[in-house]
């Protein structure tokens, strides 16, 4: 089962490679497609937060996304 902690850890690694909201949105969408059948609601919500980040009005600065990734890794 793919968890919110897994997603947070992997998201942090992706951000360190290169921060681009469109790239991260596509990356998160791929994670959703790969794990859709095993996601609990919290993990689904975390993934969708990043998927929708490329939409106008849902953009977030790097610092905020890093805070989310850290919180998800800690299970909060």
Half-sphere exposure of 63 (CA within 13 A, CB side): 0
Q: Please write the tens of the pLDDT for every residue from 26-41.
A: 999 999 999 999 999 9
User: Is pLDDT at 45 greater than 90 in this prediction?
Assistant: yes
Task: For residues 49-58, give the mean pLDDT.
Answer: 94
> Tell me, what's the pLDDT at 75?
87
The CA distances from residue 57 to 1, 2, 29, 43, in Å, are 31, 28, 18, 22
Residues 73, 15: contact at Cβ < 8 Å?
no
User: Is pLDDT at 67 greater than 90 in this prediction?
Assistant: yes
Q: Where are the domains of the chain?
A: 4-74
> Tell me, what's the pLDDT at 76?
78
pTM of the predicted structure, to 2 decimals: 0.94
């Amino acid at each position: 089962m793919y968890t919110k902690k897994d997603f947070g850890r992997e998201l942090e690694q992706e951000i360190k490679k290169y921060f681009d909201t469109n790239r991260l949105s596509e990356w998160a969408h791929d994670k959703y497609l790969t794990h859709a059948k095993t996601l609990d609601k919290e993990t689904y919500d975390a993934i969708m937060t990043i998927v929708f980040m490329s939409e106008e009005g849902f953009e977030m600065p790097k610092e905020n996304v890093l805070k989310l990734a850290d919180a998800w890794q800690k299970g909060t």
